């Protein structure tokens, strides 16, 4: 059983600590990305977001993690928009996603009262997160480094498929929201 | 906002902007998020099918006593990789040990246990069921299901033990009991003498009286003790109740009612209860332990309430009580109640009033100054006058200062030894 792991739940292997680590790494990656681009004024924003995230996490404020995850996505997207270095931006996004996910997990543990085999659950969660992110980064890498030249008509068709598909997707998700 | 919706909006926005600006970076971020959300879809929770058994021990407890609740939950559905099982407990119950919820992984046919300890105040508490919230590991897709599993905890009112209460109704029932019946016959206490009838045991012949007459013999008669009909009336009118930071006066009324119920039923009397407040809650007079349980259940759920119809005691349905029976009213009393109670006494009911003192109860929570002192004195004079009026009409009244335990107050005022309870006093 994973619950019999010798690592105690108070060790580094706790979702909350991992979320903090991921946030620091995400901020560092975004910082590096914008430093390369010489857009210095973004770095204080990244630091401010990290501080707000930590404050929210310490005070168990529910909205901070999701809000800052959205802002991190915008920072990553803006970096790409201003032709930034893709590697630190995509890695920053990866860590931001991990921080958001792990903070959500630690919050669920907190609300639950009693959690059975917390360590084993955290371990399995982390394993899946790593797998999903590894697959995500491979696919994202393919997107970034393989270029396909398409004309406007194809682009319009893909755009239309994407809009219709995503609209269906979102309406499906809305139905499943409780 | 739910995580899946947030991600959906982000993905939508990134793809649209990415395609509009020919920016592969934005699409790459969107792909990262798409992979994440797809894993949620793939590993989303299946149907929740739980089988639950609830064990409450004890189901019947006194206020503040600890009650253990155990739930055995078996998963009859598919595997749930993250599920939060929450027992929905009544909000008035206080959890003092254990947890009412459990977050776990739930394999097929596996059984989990939730156990916790609660305590509460007087009342009947009903459990609804267990809510299971199952989600994938990233909490993107959820299923929530309430599995009803009923159960209840009955926290009975406090029942202080009191000595036998001496009641003297005009009419008793045929069965032997402990209430002096005002008629001669077999018994213990001397009642009188009558002419000897053939068949009377010789030891019953009163030789002293017989010696005075030449051709007649006289036998002793004893006071018959029988069971009686007792109607308990609990005044639950909101306007009579007083609430302070020490609690409510109504709780003391409940305690008194419970104590007398216990004592009267134990003596074999036929006891009924009328809760007179927002509506009438009537428990028909019966004998025995089952009746005691019925009355305790009514007392456990009794609450004060306001109603225009039952604002004063005038609309009390006394026909529910047998004529000439004993009525015991538990009420702080209002001035306007006196004429109605006197009328009832005139109809032949033997009335006893147990009145928790609202003045001393409220005084303890008021600031100590000259105005409070003066107001208290005036209120006490009014109350004494009210009691005097009632006692003049043959109504027995116990003014109970609730700081004194009820058993002590009863022992002093209504015990067998008191002058008040003399068997013939009511007749004169």
DSSP string, B360-378: HHHHTTS--SHHHHHHHHH
Nearest to B359 by CA among B321, B320, B401: B401
pLDDT of residue A136: 93
Q: Cα–Cα distance between B186 and B226 in angstroms, integer? A: 11
- Cβ separation A141–B28 shorter than 8 A: yes
Q: Is a pLDDT exceeding 80 seen at residue A12? A: no
CA atoms within 13 A on the CB side of B75: 25
Strands (E), B196-250: 218-226, 229-235, 243-244, 247-248
Instruction: Kindly report, residue by residue over B72-91, the tens digit of the pLDDT.
Output: 999 998 899 999 999 999 98
- Best mutation target among B29, B47, B115, B117 (most A Cβ atoms within 10 Å) is B29
Q: Cα–Cα distance between B423 and B409 in angstroms, integer? A: 21
Q: Cα–Cα distance between B259 and B409 in angstroms, integer? A: 12
pLDDT of residue A153: 81
- Best mutation target among B103, B104, B132 (most A Cβ atoms within 10 Å) is B103
**Residue A34 token pair:** 């914008």
Q: Is a pLDDT exceeding 70 seen at residue B181? A: no
For B101, the closest of A113, A124, A170 (CB atoms) is A113
Q: Is B342 on the interface with A (CB under 8 A)?
A: no
Residue A130's pLDDT band (cuts 50, 70, 90)? very high
Q: Is B397 left (phi over 0), alpha (psi -120 to 50) or beta?
A: beta
Q: Cα–Cα distance between A43 and A32 in angstroms, integer? A: 9
pTM of the model: 0.74
Q: Is a pLDDT exceeding 70 seen at residue B325? A: yes
DSSP character for B324?
T
Residues of A in contact with B145 (CB under 8 A): none
Count of CB atoms situated within 10 Å of the CB of B170: 16
Residues of A in contact with B27 (CB under 8 A): 143
Dihedral of CA B378/B382/B388/B391: which sign?
A: negative
Q: Cα–Cα distance between B272 and B283 in angstroms, integer? A: 5
Q: What's the average model confidence in pLDDT over A144-173? A: 77
Shortest CA gap B140–chain A (Å): 9
A93 touches A72 (CB < 8 A): yes
Q: What's the average model confidence in pLDDT over B37-44? A: 85
Q: What are phi and psi of B49, to 5 degrees?
A: -135, 100
Percent of chain B's residues with pLDDT above 90: 35
- Cβ separation B32–A174 shorter than 8 A: no
Q: Cα–Cα distance between B314 and B316 in angstroms, integer? A: 6
pLDDT of residue B240: 84
Q: Is a pLDDT exceeding 50 seen at residue A20? A: yes
pLDDT of residue A73: 94
The side-by-side arrangement of strands in the sheet containing B326-330 is B280-286, B270-276, B229-235, B326-330, B350-356, B396-400
Count of CB atoms situated within 10 Å of the CB of A78: 16
**3 state DSSP class of B257:** helix
Nearest to B259 by CA among B421, B66, B386, B402: B402
Instruction: Kindly report, residue by residue over A31-51, the tens digit of the pLDDT.
Output: 999 998 888 888 999 999 999
Q: What's the average model confidence in pLDDT over B383-390? A: 92
Least confident of A103-117, B124-138, B174-188: B174-188
B234 touches B302 (CB < 8 A): yes
B179 vs B424, residue with greater confidence: B179
The side-by-side arrangement of strands in the sheet containing B50-57 is B50-57, B67-75, B111-119, B94-98
Taking every pair of Cα atoms in chain A, the longest distance, rounded to a whole number of angstroms, is: 59
- Cβ separation B39–A147 shorter than 8 A: no
- Cβ separation B26–A80 shorter than 8 A: yes
What average pLDDT does the structure give for chain A?
Answer: 84
pLDDT of residue B415: 52
Q: At a CB cut-off of 8 Å and minimum separation 6, what does B358 contact?
A: B240, B242, B249, B332
Residue of A nearest to B113 (CA): A116
Q: Is B199 left (phi over 0), alpha (psi -120 to 50) or beta?
A: left
Q: Cα–Cα distance between B306 and B313 in angstroms, integer? A: 13
pLDDT of residue B310: 77
Count of CB atoms situated within 10 Å of the CB of B8: 24
Least confident of A8-12, B88-92, B251-255, B390-394: A8-12
- Cβ separation A114–B9 shorter than 8 A: no
Residues across chain A: 178
**3 state DSSP class of B224:** strand
Count of CB atoms situated within 10 Å of the CB of B237: 22
pLDDT of residue B419: 40
Shortest CA gap A108–chain B (Å): 9
pLDDT of residue B38: 86
**Residue B291 token pair:** 């009746």
Residue of B nearest to A166 (CA): B12
Strands B270-276 and B229-235: parallel
Q: Cα–Cα distance between B130 and B53 in angstroms, integer? A: 10
pLDDT of residue A152: 75
Instruction: Kindly report, residue by residue over A46-95, the tens digit of the pLDDT.
Output: 999 999 999 988 887 878 899 999 999 999 999 998 888 889 999 999 99
**3 state DSSP class of A140:** helix
Residue A9's pLDDT band (cuts 50, 70, 90)? very low
B184 touches B194 (CB < 8 A): yes
Residue of A nearest to B85 (CA): A112
Q: What's the average model confidence in pLDDT over A91-107? A: 93
B282 vs A163, residue with greater confidence: B282
Q: Is B80 on the interface with A (CB under 8 A)?
A: no
Q: Is A28 left (phi over 0), alpha (psi -120 to 50) or beta?
A: alpha
DSSP character for B417?
T
**Residue A166 token pair:** 């995503």
**Residue given tokens 């002096």 in the structure block:** B180
Q: Cα–Cα distance between A123 and A8 in angstroms, integer? A: 12
Residue A4's pLDDT band (cuts 50, 70, 90)? very low
pLDDT of residue B46: 84
Shortest CA gap B100–chain A (Å): 8
Instruction: Kindly report, residue by residue over B49-60, the tens digit of the pLDDT.
Output: 999 999 999 988
**Residue B241 token pair:** 């109740």
DSSP of B163-192: PPP----S---SSEEEEEEEEEEEEEEEEE
Q: Which of B168-182, B215-229, B283-297 has the highest mean pLDDT?
A: B283-297
pLDDT of residue A1: 40
Instruction: Kindly report, residue by residue over B193-235, the tens digit of the pLDDT.
Output: 888 888 888 888 889 988 988 888 898 888 777 778 888 999 9
**3 state DSSP class of B149:** strand
Distance of CA A84 to the CA centre of its chain: 19
- Cβ separation B10–A70 shorter than 8 A: yes
Q: What's the average model confidence in pLDDT over B256-276? A: 90
- Best mutation target among A77, A130, A149 (most B Cβ atoms within 10 Å) is A77
């Amino acid at each position: 059983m994973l619950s019999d792991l010798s690592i105690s739940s108070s060790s580094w292997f706790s979702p909350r600590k991992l979320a903090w680590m991921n946030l620091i790494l995400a901020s560092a990656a975004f910082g590096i990305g914008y430093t390369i681009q010489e857009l210095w004024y973004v770095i204080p924003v990244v630091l401010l977001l990290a501080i707000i995230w930590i404050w929210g996490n310490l005070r168990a404020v529910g909205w901070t993690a999701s809000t800052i995850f959205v802002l991190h996505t915008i920072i990553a997207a803006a970096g790409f928009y201003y032709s930034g270095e893709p590697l630190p931006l995509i890695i920053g996004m990866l860590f931001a996603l991990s921080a958001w996910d792990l903070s959500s997990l630690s919050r669920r543990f907190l609300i639950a009262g009693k959690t059975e085999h917390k360590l084993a659950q955290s371990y399995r969660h982390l394993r899946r997160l790593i797998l999903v992110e590894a697959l995500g980064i491979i696919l994202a890498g393919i997107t970034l480094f393989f270029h396909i030249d398409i004309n406007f008509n194809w682009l319009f068709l893909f755009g239309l498929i994407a809009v219709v598909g995503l609209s269906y997707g979102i309406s499906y998700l809305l139905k499943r929201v409780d | 906002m739910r995580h899946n919706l947030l991600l959906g909006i982000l993905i939508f926005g990134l793809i649209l902007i990415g395609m509009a600006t020919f920016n592969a970076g934005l699409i790459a971020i969107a792909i990262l998020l798409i992979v994440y959300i797809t894993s949620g879809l793939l590993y989303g929770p299946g149907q929740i099918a739980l089988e639950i058994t609830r064990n409450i021990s004890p189901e019947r407890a006194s206020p503040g006593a600890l009650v253990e609740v155990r739930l055995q939950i078996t998963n009859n559905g598919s595997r749930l990789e993250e599920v939060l099982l929450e027992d929905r407990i009544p909000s008035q119950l206080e959890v003092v040990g254990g947890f009412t919820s459990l977050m776990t992984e739930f394999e097929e046919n596996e059984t989990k246990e939730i156990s916790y300890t609660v305590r509460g105040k007087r009342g009947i508490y009903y459990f609804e069921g267990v809510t299971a919230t199952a989600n994938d590991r990233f909490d993107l897709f959820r299923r929530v299901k309430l599995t009803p599993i009923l159960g209840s905890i009955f926290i009975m009112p406090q029942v202080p033990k009191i000595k036998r209460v001496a009641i003297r109704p005009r009419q008793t029932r045929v069965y032997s009991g402990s209430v002096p019946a005002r008629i001669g016959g077999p018994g213990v206490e001397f009642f009188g003498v009558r002419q000897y009838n053939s068949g009377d045991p010789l030891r019953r012949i009163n030789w002293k009286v017989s010696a005075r007459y030449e051709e007649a013999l006289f036998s002793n008669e004893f006071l018959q003790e029988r069971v009686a009909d007792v109607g308990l009336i609990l005044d639950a009118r909101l306007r009579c109740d007083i609430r302070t930071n020490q609690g409510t006066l109504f709780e003391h009324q409940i305690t008194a009612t419970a104590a007398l119920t216990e004592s009267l039923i134990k003596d074999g009397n036929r006891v009924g209860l009328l809760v007179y407040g927002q509506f009438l809650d009537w428990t028909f007079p019966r004998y025995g332990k089952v009746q005691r349980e019925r009355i305790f259940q009514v007392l456990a759920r009794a609450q004060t309430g306001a109603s225009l119809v039952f604002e004063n005691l005038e609309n009390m349905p006394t026909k529910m009580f047998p004529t000439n029976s004993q009525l015991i009213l538990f009420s702080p009393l209002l001035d306007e109640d006196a004429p109605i109670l006197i009328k009832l006494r005139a109809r032949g009911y033997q009335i006893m009033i147990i009145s928790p003192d609202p003045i001393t109860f409220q005084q303890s929570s008021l600031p100590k100054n000259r105005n409070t002192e003066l107001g208290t004195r005036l209120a006490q004079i009014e109350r004494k006058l009210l009691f005097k009026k009632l006692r003049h009409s043959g109504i027995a009244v116990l003014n109970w200062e609730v700081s004194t335990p009820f058993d002590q107050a009863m022992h002093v005022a209504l015990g067998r030894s008191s002058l008040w309870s003399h068997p013939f006093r009511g007749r004169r």
